[in-house]
């Protein structure tokens, strides 16, 4: 399955990635190859196999509604690329 | 050509749990320091395992039942993928093809015209982080991320801004009765997005729909939809295209403006959330939740009419708010069922006026049901006059003093005792010879005038009915 140039651009836009024309072409062939690999699965006859959403046969796994202490602010913010006071700081996205 | 308006509403209500939807961080974030109710799960760190909050599921089941939905035997969570700085993981855990509830309805009522609005689905998801937009950047507070959020989607069957407002008020009231959400619109616990389009009457095809966001009150929803239906009609009339887009309501300007271009469902690349096993909801569980359903606004309204003989409109206003309905019933319990109408008059009249003028909620006022009950009882027994009662409720509203104390402080006890007022009556007769002769000549009004003079001389304490009776007697009958 060959992805079109536009499809790759569209996927990149959804991921908020700016790709150059050359990159778009590069990923077009790479992602197309990945999709082709998955195409192999379509060869299996699944007519009588019910649709599965999960790989482990579990159901109704809950926790009680109890609040526990969260992490210290400093630990939460430790990986912030940028911060302002106790806030994460990010580029504003207003299209 | 005449056009009709088609509106569908999406409501998001934060559920009133103690902890978040998929982790045990404290869900009460309103007063919290930024990013203090956060853990690796709600921060979206790799390798963490979310676990479903059972109470949130049960609240959604309760809401679905109250909205006449079928509760799904099988339900699961899905990942909705999109990238935005308020979404920590790059996907939101939501529900796609198997929501907790579907095919429900609620009844709206516009000036006595009842209409059923169908509800497509009720599903659970997680709230996103809060962004504070600055000029060139945004500050992110993750406290809100992961809060249990219930989405209730109506069918596009609402045909006017009035209907939309009533639908929201009914839904708001039901959720408050259930106690599943604070439903505070200002702080965003109860949010509404609307899809609105117009089409030529008789036409079956839907035209481009516009999604309107950022409406923070019932009034804003009404105004935004009113504005949008006018804007779309004008555009069509002038031959301009209507784009499928998201528009934000600007309250101060009273208009909607174009926001971002919306991604379509395919772009969200929904897939089953692999970290959360599906839920099987059996009949026993549903029955257990059903038992928790309280009396809902519609039923309570009908009961008020049947049990207390209230007017439908009054019953509707009283039961629109859970607190007000409880307040009313407390008054009736204290004052007696036969005084229910008087209680209604005080609550919807003077008390509501005082509450509205000061922006106070009925749960926060110093006027307690005991005060209302005392005022009703004392006016009924002629111990205080109507105007005195108004003075008392106002004073209680400001000070919270007991009715007895105010009556004593302000000397408001109505004088019903003949001897106390007889002297004043005699004096009034002497002072107003003209009025007396007018009355004797057949002018009824003259009698009212003298009665007024006597009541005034007692600073409003004399009972006008008693005064009038004595006057007629003194003047040798009619």
Predicted complex ipTM: 0.89
Contact B138 A90 (CB under 8 A): yes
The A-side interface with B (CB below 8 A) comprises: 14-16, 53-56, 58-68, 70-71, 73, 76-77, 84-95
- The residue ranges of chain B whose pLDDT is under 70 are 260-265, 416-417, 477-478
Distance, in Å, from the CA atom of B103 to the CA atom of B19, rounded to the nearest integer, reads 29
DSSP annotation of B350: I
Distance, in Å, from the CA atom of B41 to the CA atom of B23, rounded to the nearest integer, reads 6
Residue positions counted in chain B? 478
In the predicted structure, residue A95 carries a pLDDT above the cut 60: no
Tokens representing B42 are 């709600």
Percent of chain A with pLDDT over 70: 96
Query: Which CATH number applies to A5-42?
Result: 1.10.20
Tokens representing B380 are 């009924």
- What pLDDT does residue B260 have? 65
Contact B18 A60 (CB under 8 A): no
User: Does B280 touch chain A if contact means CB atoms closer than 8 Å?
Assistant: yes
Tokens representing B303 are 């009961």
CATH architecture under which domain B418-474 falls: Orthogonal Bundle (1.10)
The CATH 1.10.10.410 portion of chain B extends over 418-474
Q: Is B28 exposed, middle or buried (0-12, 13-18, 19+ CB in 10 A)?
A: middle
Distance, in Å, from the CA atom of B377 to the CA atom of A14, rounded to the nearest integer, reads 68
Distance, in Å, from the CA atom of B345 to the CA atom of B327, rounded to the nearest integer, reads 13
Could you write out the DSSP letters of every residue in B173-223?
A: HHHHHHTS----TTTTSEEEEEEEEEEETT--S----EEEEEE-SHHHHHH
- What pLDDT does residue A61 have? 96
How do strand B255-258 and strand B70-71 relate by DSSP bridges?
unpaired
- What pLDDT does residue B112 have? 83
Contact A59 B132 (CB under 8 A): no
Contact B277 A63 (CB under 8 A): no
| Residue that the structure tokens 């009950």 belong to | B373
Contact B142 A61 (CB under 8 A): no
CA B354 vs. chain centroid, Å, equals 17
pTM: 0.85
Of B284, B292, B283, B275, nearest to B52 (Cα)? B275
Residue positions counted in chain A? 95
A-chain residues within 8 Å CB-CB of B139? 84-85, 87-90
Residue B107 contacts residue B126 (beta carbons within 8 Å): no
Alpha carbon distances (Å) from B259 to B8, B11, B245, B349 = 19, 19, 7, 43
Residue of A nearest to B97 (CA): A53
Would you kindly state where each structural domain of chain A is located, as residue ranges? Answer: 5-42
Distance, in Å, from the CA atom of B82 to the CA atom of B91, rounded to the nearest integer, reads 6
- What pLDDT does residue A2 have? 86
**Closest Cβ–Cβ partner in B81, B140, B276 for A90:** B140
How many beta-carbon pairs under 8 angstroms link A with B? 123
User: Does B53 touch chain A if contact means CB atoms closer than 8 Å?
Assistant: yes
Residue of B nearest to A60 (CA): B279
B221's torsion region: left (phi>0), alpha (psi -120 to 50) or beta? alpha
Residue in B277, B282, B284 to test binding to A, most A beta-carbons within 10 Å: B277
Contact B53 A14 (CB under 8 A): no
**Closest Cβ–Cβ partner in B26, B261, B278 for A59:** B278
Distance, in Å, from the CA atom of B119 to the CA atom of B168, rounded to the nearest integer, reads 12
- What pLDDT does residue B478 have? 47
Mean pLDDT, residues A59-75:
96
A1-32 residue pLDDT tens: 789 999 999 999 888 888 999 999 999 999 99
């Amino acid at each position: 399955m060959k992805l079109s140039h536009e499809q790759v651009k569209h996927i990149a836009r959804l991921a908020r990635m700016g790709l150059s024309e050359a990159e778009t072409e590069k990923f077009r062939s790479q992602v197309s190859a990945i999709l082709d690999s998955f195409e192999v699965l379509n060869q299996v006859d699944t007519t009588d196999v019910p649709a599965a959403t999960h790989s482990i046969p579990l159901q109704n796994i809950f926790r009680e509604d109890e609040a526990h202490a969260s992490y210290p602010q400093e630990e939460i913010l430790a990986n912030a690329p940028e911060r302002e006071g106790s806030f994460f700081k990010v580029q504003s996205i207003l299209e | 050509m005449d056009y009709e308006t088609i509106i569908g509403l999406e409501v998001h209500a934060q559920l009133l749990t103690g902890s978040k939807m998929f982790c045990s961080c404290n869900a009460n974030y309103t007063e919290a320091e930024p990013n203090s109710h956060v853990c690796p799960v709600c921060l979206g760190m790799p390798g963490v395992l979310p676990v479903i909050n059972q109470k949130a599921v049960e609240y959604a089941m309760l809401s679905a039942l109250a909205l006449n939905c079928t509760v799904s035997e099988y339900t699961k969570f899905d990942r909705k993928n999109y990238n935005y700085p308020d979404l920590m993981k790059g996907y939101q855990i939501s529900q796609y093809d198997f929501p907790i509830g579907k095919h429900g309805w609620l009844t709206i009522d516009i000036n006595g015209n009842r209409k059923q609005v169908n509800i497509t689905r009720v599903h659970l998801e997680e709230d996103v982080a809060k962004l504070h937009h600055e000029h060139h950047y945004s500050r992110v507070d993750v406290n809100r991320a992961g809060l249990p959020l219930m989405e209730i989607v109506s069918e596009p069957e609402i045909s006017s801004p009035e209907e939309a407002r009533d639908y929201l008020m009914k839904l708001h009231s039901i959720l408050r009765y259930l106690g599943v959400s604070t439903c505070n619109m200002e702080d965003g616990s109860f949010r509404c997005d609307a899809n609105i389009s117009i089409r030529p009457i008789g036409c079956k095809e839907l035209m481009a729909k516009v999604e309107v966001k950022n409406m923070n009150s019932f009034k804003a929803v009404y105004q935004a939809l009113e504005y949008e239906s006018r804007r779309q009609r004008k555009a069509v009339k002038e031959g301009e295209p209507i784009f499928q887009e998201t528009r934000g309501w600007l309250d101060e300007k009273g208009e909607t403006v174009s926001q971002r271009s919306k991604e379509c469902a395919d772009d969200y690349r929904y897939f089953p959330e692999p970290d959360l096993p599906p839920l099987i909801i059996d009949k026993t569980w549903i029955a257990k939740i059903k038992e928790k359903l309280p009396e809902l606004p519609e039923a309570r309204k009908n009961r008020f009419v049947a049990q207390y003989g209230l007017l439908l409109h009054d019953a509707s206003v009283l039961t629109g708010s859970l607190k007000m309905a409880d307040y009313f019933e407390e008054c009736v319990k204290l004052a007696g069922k036969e005084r229910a109408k008087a209680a209604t008059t005080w609550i919807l009249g003077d008390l509501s006026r005082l509450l509205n003028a000061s922006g106070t909620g009925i749960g926060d006022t110093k006027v307690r049901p005991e005060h209302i009950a005392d005022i009703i009882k004392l006016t009924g027994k002629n111990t205080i006059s109507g105007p005195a009662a108004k003075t008392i409720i106002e004073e209680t509203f400001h000070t919270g003093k007991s009715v007895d104390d105010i009556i004593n402080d302000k000397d408001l006890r109505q004088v019903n005792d003949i001897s106390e007022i007889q002297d004043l009556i005699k004096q009034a007769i002497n002072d107003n010879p003209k009025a007396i002769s007018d009355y004797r000549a057949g002018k009824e009004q003259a009698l009212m005038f003298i009665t007024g003079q006597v009541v005034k001389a007692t600073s409003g304490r004399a009972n006008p009915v008693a005064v009038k009776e004595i006057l007629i007697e003194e003047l040798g009958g009619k």
